[in-house]
Amino acid sequence: MNQIQEIYQKKFSDYQCAIHIRRGDYLKYPNHHPICSLNYYAQAIQYFDNSTNFVIFSDDIDWCRHQDLFQEKRFDFWTSQRDDLDLYLMSIFPHQIIANSSFSWWASWLNIYQNKKVIAPSLWFGQNLKHLNTEDIYASYMLKI
């Protein structure tokens, strides 16, 4: 954990919000787990002021790097090929924009900041799983959009 704190201090001390974008296996099962749209991320970013800097975590970081939404200097990209490192690193940012993914959900749950802002997608499951109750997925500190 000291190694992760050191990475955060050296590379991301000027960044306040982690963004998680899950694609990977979700591309194969859109009726079960739809991918959060760029519109969702654009709306979520609007909940932060213009001085907020973001770090993007994703299983498809190359795709993220090519999206117009993330071309400003206030966006940076992280890739490590180590899920444990990524999860812990996401959790130590003061704020998060999460995907409909248990991976980013856990990062927000492990976040120790009292005044954290966590933006979550209101659509968690796709058409084939719409019968599932998702109310218990959302913690009281999450803002669903």
For position 77, which CATH number holds? 3.40.50.11350
What is the reported pTM?
0.92
Backbone phi and psi for residue 33, each to the nearest 5 degrees, phi listed first: -135, 90
Range of the domain at 96: 2-144
- The total of structural domains in the chain comes to 1
The pLDDT value recorded for residue 6 is 77
Enumerate residues 6+ apart whose C-beta is below 8 A from 35: 22, 23, 26, 27, 99
Mean pLDDT by 10 residues, the chain (145 residues): 71 89 89 93 97 96 98 93 89 96 95 95 88 86 96
Residue 25, pLDDT score:
87
Q: What angle do helix axes 102-110 and 83-91 make, rounded to 10 degrees?
A: 50
